[in-house]
Chains A and B, each alone.
Chain A
Amino acid sequence: MELLLVAFAGGVLALDATSVGQFMVSRPLVAGALAGWILGEPGTGLLVGALLEAYLLVLVPSGGSHYPEGATATVVAVAAVTASEATGALPLGIAAGLVWGQVGGLTINVQRRLNGRIVPEPDAGDPGRVAAAHVLAIALDFLRGASVTLVGAWAGRWALPTFADSWPLGAGGTNGLLLMGGAVSAGILLRSLGGFRRRRILFAAGLALGLVGARVL
């Protein structure tokens, strides 16, 4: 039952990424919190979501681009991490999310090719067909997201406990390893925001605020 709820959430969140609304509830930060809440571990869900958000910060749901699917990846990662209480659950879940994001991205491409067959040719001007094809494409996207999430969450919850218990790093090293990947995205983002030379004063001011803020708060 829990897995079906998670799959349903994955389907709804996958819709938000492109097909319906784009209110960004599909971003990892939100998807992680929601999946964690469904699975009874909101704190874990939020941590997974925040880490994956840091990774996927530089990848955007631009219409025609190929990108990993963050929403289903995050739900799968949270489902996997909550299957074990060992320290190793977090890195394994994040890795599973990163891999599953690619799988989700591939299914998006398949869905878009399928949509090309579903939508009427421009020389067909039947209003009923236009509306029906559009609604069908949205329904298929929901099913795609839900299926990707269901398979990933089931596999993650089944496989992760085998490896999580024997994870060799402590909590500090594990967080260090995971934050290193996020640091690459942060560097890429600074480059795309104008580069270090152009943004150094603003970046340095923010850095100082962040360092002081984290100590004080």
Chain B
Amino acid sequence: MATLDRWTLASAFARSFLIQGSWNYRTMLGSGFAFAMLPALRVLFRESPAALEASLRRHLEHFNAHPYLSGVALGAVLRMEGDGEDGEAVRRFKTAVRGPLGGLGDALVWAAWLPAVSLIGLALYWLGAPGWVAVLAFLAIYNVGHVGLRVWSFKVGLGGGRGVARSLGAAALTRWTERIRAAAALLLGLFVGAAFEGEPGLVAAGPAWAALAAAAFVGGLLVGHRLWRPAAVAVVAAVALLATWGLAS
């Protein structure tokens, strides 16, 4: 790893923020991964354009991971390439980590962290905080976790190389996910209570609307994600019907 200086590593890390820039159904993150690796590969294979092309071909292949945790793979592969490990070993490593990095990241970020912090912003808004406070609180809290996770994952990958699985296991991401999900349940209650009593709220709308909203909440709870699209269609249809009726009468 002595051949990769801080600047090159920083460049690869900065490019990891663009890793989904060319996301596609054929190679998914593959080309983004190669794009992020490029500054380091240019340094590592400065003396051998053929080796650079061979390495780049490996990294253009199909790859997928959660974007925030892709740094684990990026850092580890940089370490492996720097240590001169065999190309086939690098390929096997990427195949082995892509599933776990996707699953862990989706559960931690998309299903826990993002909704929890969104609920903070929404609760603040409905509790009557100034709008900019709700927006800035959301952005600041979310990105402390986001950027922190990216930095941590890149460092863990660089430090662990092909043995990065041990560091991932020790980090107990699943336990953190569960804690955040529990906090999100509390925040969801806070938001629902604030939207019921606050402004614009259901109390001001009247008991009939409050009862309908309660029924909609129970419907979502019982049916789950399958109800989202029909509910959105129902709201759009109701608005369209009322608008047409208003125009006609």
Q: Do A and B come from one complex?
A: yes
- Contact status of A53 and B242, CB under 8 A, knowing A199-B182, A207-B192: no
User: Known contacts being A58-B228, A99-B236, A131-B38, is A23 close to B23, with CB within 8 Å?
Assistant: no
Q: Majority SS of interface residues in chain A? A: helix
Q: Are B243 and A88 in contact (CB-based, < 8 A)?
A: yes
Complex Cα distance, B238 from A203, in Å, reads: 30
B120-134: which have CB < 8 Å to A? 121-123, 125-129, 131-132, 134
Q: A214–B127 contact, CB under 8 A?
A: yes
The answer to whether B13 has its CB under 8 Å from any CB of chain A is no
Q: Is the CB of B34 within 8 A of A130?
A: yes
- Size band of the interface chain A makes with B: 35 or more
Chain B residue total in the interface (Cβ 8 A) = 115
Segment with Cβ contacts to A, from B2-10, B78-86, B161-169, B216-224: B216-224
Report the separation of the CA atoms of residues A33 and B138 in the bound assembly, to the nearest whole angstrom. Answer: 12
Beyond A46-B135, A98-B232, whether A176 also contacts B224 by CB under 8 A is no
CB distance from B218 to the nearest CB of A (A): 6
Q: Is A209 an interface residue (CB 8 A)?
A: yes
Of the candidates B20, B60, B68, B210, the one whose C-beta lies within 8 Å of that of A19 is: B20
The answer to whether A18 has its CB under 8 Å from any CB of chain B is yes
Complex CA distance for A112 and B20, rounded to whole angstroms = 11
Interface residues of A (CB under 8 A from B): 18-25, 27, 29-30, 33, 42-43, 46-47, 50, 53-55, 57-64, 88, 91-92, 94-95, 98-99, 112-113, 115-116, 118-127, 130-131, 133-135, 137-138, 141, 162-164, 166-169, 171-173, 175-196, 199, 202-215, 217
